[in-house]
Structure 1
């Protein structure tokens, strides 16, 4: 599939990613893996961002205080936690 930068999205990528995180974490009840987020993005919006695009978006969400990342050795093994507000 083409990268996100090659396709016009009606909603910004950050909004899609946040919505998928809320869904796959069951509103913050459990952490999500990167692969779960990628599968959710494909189901919700029919997109598959590159690892760099997804990492950049997750970094923005973490900086804004919406999520917390738990790192591991590989990007695919990172856990994403939704911070309940």
Structure 2
């Protein structure tokens, strides 16, 4: 017995809604409120000997991107905006 397009749509609709919901949750996982930037940047810059410039750029990047990568170094792939913002010379802007 053949399924009608209507029955197929009814079966796929809940799955589609679930996927849309989880994609928005994953997208917003790293999004911070501006008030969350200072503590996250304080931790991010805790292992460097250049704390003032690190904090300056981290706070600038966080205020623009509303994201700070986890840890004290690396992991920038978790925050694409933070990772892709470059200086005029092409180097990374965000610590």
Structure of larger gyration radius: 2
TM > 0.5? no
Counting helix residues as a fraction of each chain, which structure ranks higher?
2
Counting strand residues as a fraction of each chain, which structure ranks higher?
1
TM-score, normalised via structure 2 length = 0.24
Higher RCO structure, 1 or 2 (CA under 8 Å, sep 6+):
1
